[in-house]
Amino acid sequence: MNFAADQSVLSIMIMIVIGYFLAYKNLLDEKAINLITTIVVNISLPMMMLNTILSNFTKYKLIADSSGLVVPFLSIGCCFIIAKFFAKIAKVKDNRRGLFVSMFFNSNTIFMGIPVNLALFGEKSVPYVLLYYIANTTFFWTLGIYEITKDGNKKALKFFSIDFVKKILSPPLMGFLVGMVLLLLNIKLPAFIMDTSKYLGNLTTPLSMFFIGASIYLVNLKSVKFSMDIVWILIGRFVISPLLVILILPMFPIPQLMGSVFVVQAAMPVMANSAIIAKAYDSDYNFASLMIAISTIGTLFVIPILMAIL
């Protein structure tokens, strides 16, 4: 079963290698990377958000399981505070400090979370996977994005300002919010719109992985120096984040399977969207690409350990 989960990691790595090869052959250059960023952020990601919510949830199921949301919201919130602390004491560079925080406390809940949990627990785990996804997505597209925007701006955005609202109300978050509103209002979209959102949403994973592979090629790996930033993010993803969930779980009466899914979700690698968003907001997207690749490989070793603990 662990091998089945590892296969999803290998699938991600193959797509990253393809992106690397395309850049090596000069088929993906800076212009192509910018185009991929535009397509993913403005089209495929919003459609994926919309389709994921409407295809995998019902209003009744969302309300029935909503009490479990307190665990991921609380654990991710605590992880965010810890990330801010480590970013300060580790003296992370200004052009990647917000990115560091975002990668530390947000996990890859869809690209990696769904296939890994399906392999480990079966289809009955999907609703719980999506509960964690709701919390993780809410944090990433608000606090996570806010932190990343500070990297690319000499003057930091004020949390309560028009500029902040414009930055935060990105197309992916709007897709997520529209999906939630339609779900709660019991509004069903026509089949052709759902199909379109599915097809466009399916572009997100391969395009994001191609972007990561190309970014890794275009950055001079020989110039990349090992830093404690890498170690702290890996510790945040694979130790602190799941440990927080394990410590919080006994406080709330939720099903055992839900708790196990939350632990696995918390230990997923860096969000694949991080590099795309870092590029869009002038943060250190090369560092983000490297961290996504490194943390994805790390998942191969973390999953068996987690299953032994659970």
Phi and psi of 270, rounded to 5°?
-55, 140
CA dist 122 to 2, 127, 304, Å?
13, 11, 16
Please check whether residue 251 is in contact with residue 244, taking contact to mean a CB–CB distance below 8 angstroms.
no
CA distances (Å), origin 247, targets 128, 130, 163, 216: 18, 21, 37, 36
Query: Looking at residues 36-40, what average pLDDT do you find?
Result: 86
Structure tokens that stand for 43 in this block: 């089209």
> What is the domain count for the chain?
1
Domain that holds residue 218: 2-309
DSSP string, 94-147: TTTHHHHHHHHH-B-TTTTHHHHHHHHH-GGGHHHHHHHHHHHHHHIIIIIHHH
Integer Rg of the chain from CA: 18
Distance from C-alpha of 148 to C-alpha of 280, rounded to nearest angstrom: 10
CATH of the domain at 202: 1.20.1530.20
* Mean confidence (pLDDT) of the chain: 84
| Residue 158 pLDDT greater than 80, yes or no | no
Task: Please state, in angstroms and rounded to a whole number, the distance separating the CA atoms of residues 175 and 44.
Answer: 10
Query: Which residue in the block uniquely carries the two structure tokens 């996504």?
Result: 292
Q: How far apart are CA 7 and CA 285, in angstroms?
A: 26
Band of pLDDT at residue 154, cut at 50, 70 and 90: very low
Q: Tokens 């997505």 map to which residue?
A: 137
105: pLDDT strictly greater than 90:
yes
* Residue 167 pLDDT: 60
Burial class (CB in 10 A: 0-12, 13-18, 19+), 3: exposed
Report the C-alpha gap between 221 and 173 in whole angstroms: 33
Q: What is the largest CA-CA distance in the chain?
A: 54
pLDDT of amino acid 5: 57
Q: Model's pTM, two decimal places?
A: 0.75
End-to-end CA gap in the chain: 14
For residue range 213-251, what is the model confidence (pLDDT) as tens digits?
887 787 765 656 778 899 999 999 999 999 999 999 999
Q: For residue 15, what are the contacts with CB-CB under 8 A and spacing of at least 6?
A: 205, 206, 209, 210, 213
Place of tokens 């632990």: 263
What does the pLDDT read at residue 83? 96
* Band (62; pLDDT cuts 50, 70, 90): confident
Residues 293, 212 contacting (CB under 8 angstroms): yes
Neighbours of 4 (CB within 10 A): 13
**E strand map for the chain:** none
Residue 108, phi then psi, degrees to nearest 5: -85, 80
